[in-house]
Amino acid sequence: MTTATRTAAAEAPSRPLWGVFWMVVTGLNFVAVTALVKHVGPRLPAAESAFLRYVLGLVFLAPMIRPMLSAGLDRRALGYFTLRGVAHTLGVMLWFYAMTQIPIAEVTAMNYLSPVYVTLGAALFLGERLAFRRLAAVAAALVGALLILRPGFREISPGHLAMLGTALMFAASYLIAKRMSDLVSPTVIVGMLSVTVTIGLAPFAAMVWVPPTPAELFWLFLVAAFATAGHYTMTLAFRAAPVAVTQPVAFLQLVWATLLGVLVFGEPVDGWVIAGGALIMAAVSFIAWREAKLRRRALTPVHVATKV
């Protein structure tokens, strides 16, 4: 994002009600993504489901083809794209696997950890200053993660470990994207991510390939459609209102995911997961508010910004 673009965005009139509305729609889109993946179930291996989601979603790349072809990418940019593609590929496969192993509410709550990892990564690798308030917020988020996992009080399943890895890989992907934002346009960054992840998933899918049914292809196409719509409506939310306004609304996604798990998939409500997710979301919201107040170039995304 250029300085002129950021200045224009800062001067744009704030429409908080529209910002809240579009963030609510964003949450519904991403809850639909998790519900559909859960509905498809474990018959298809995680790598194959992820690959089919990206292949079927390539149809939405049509408006990005011309900017990608005319970008004139050099070796440095291609290296960044490759590195980000590797990180995101691993994150997507882990996320699809976790969806078949643990309840929707737990997947959603642990997804909130990505912005926390971004904050730590920005301090370690991008020279971002980690002040005491931000460090305290990170600590609070990690306490939230412990409330969800409760090691020593219940078994930590492979699905939980997969979600920890998912959040870490998505955070790495986002940090690389921030590096790339000074080299190419956002359209090229988004388009190349879809291309590199599709290529990255292909060999993993080939190794475990199970012929998909027409119904499974249909549901995974809807996953791609809802994911694309979610990222678009999230952009509309950011245009309408500051992140400090829209960020807390993202917590509703955990509420809806919990209700969906109970009413549709028969998953029990776990109060510790709700409490841990709320604590993580509060910490992420505080970090975003501090960045907005200090008028810096925001590094911390909302949790859905790094989703599949």
Nearest to 259 by CA among 274, 277, 278: 274
| β strands within 22-133, DSSP E | none
pLDDT-derived band at 4 (thresholds 50, 70, 90) equals: very low
Handedness of CA 177, 181, 306, 250 (dihedral sign): positive
213 Ramachandran zone, left/alpha/beta (phi>0; psi -120 to 50): beta
Instruction: Convert the pLDDT of each residue in 38-69 to its tens digit.
Output: 999 899 999 999 999 999 998 988 888 888 88
What pLDDT score does 166 carry? Answer: 94
- Where is pLDDT greater, at 236 or 93? 93
pLDDT-derived band at 9 (thresholds 50, 70, 90) equals: very low
What pLDDT score does 220 carry? Answer: 95
* For the chain, domain boundaries: 18-306
Instruction: Find which of 6-10, 39-43, 154-158, 246-250 is predicted with most confidence, using mean pLDDT.
Output: 39-43
List alpha helices for 112-151, DSSP H. 113-125, 132-149
The pTM of the full predicted model, rounded to 2 decimals, is: 0.84
Mean per-residue pLDDT for 258-272? 89
Q: Is 171 exposed, middle or buried (0-12, 13-18, 19+ CB in 10 A)?
A: buried
Of 8-12, 128-132, 201-205, 206-210, the range with the lowest mean pLDDT is: 8-12
What pLDDT score does 226 carry? Answer: 93
What pLDDT score does 307 carry? Answer: 61
Q: Which residues of 244-259 are buried (b: 16+ CB within 10 A; e: fewer)?
A: bbbbbbbbbbbbbbbe
> Other C-beta atoms within 10 Å of 155: how many?
7
Q: Which amino acid is at 267?
A: E
Tokens of 134: 């931000």
Which residues, in sequence order, are CB contacts of 138 under 8 Å at separation 6+? 116, 119, 120, 130, 283, 287
Residue with tokens 């776990």: 270
β-strand partners of 151:
154
- Where is pLDDT greater, at 98 or 239? 98
Q: Is residue 292 over pLDDT 80?
A: no
List alpha helices for 208-251, DSSP H. 214-240, 243-246
Instruction: Output the CA angle 135-250-46, nearest 5 degrees.
Output: 95
Which residues, in sequence order, are CB contacts of 254 under 8 Å at separation 6+? 105, 108, 109, 112, 274, 277, 278, 281
Instruction: Convert the pLDDT of each residue in 227-261 to its tens digit.
Output: 888 888 887 887 787 766 776 777 788 888 888 89
The CA distance from 135 to 133, in Å, is 5
Tokens of 141: 């988020």
pLDDT-derived band at 186 (thresholds 50, 70, 90) equals: confident
Taking all residues of the chain, what is their mean pLDDT, rounded to a whole number? 84
List alpha helices for the chain, DSSP H. 3-11, 16-40, 46-57, 65-69, 75-99, 104-111, 113-125, 132-149, 158-180, 186-207, 214-240, 243-246, 252-263, 271-293
Mean per-residue pLDDT for 138-166? 89
The CA distance from 179 to 265, in Å, is 40
> Other C-beta atoms within 10 Å of 78: how many?
12
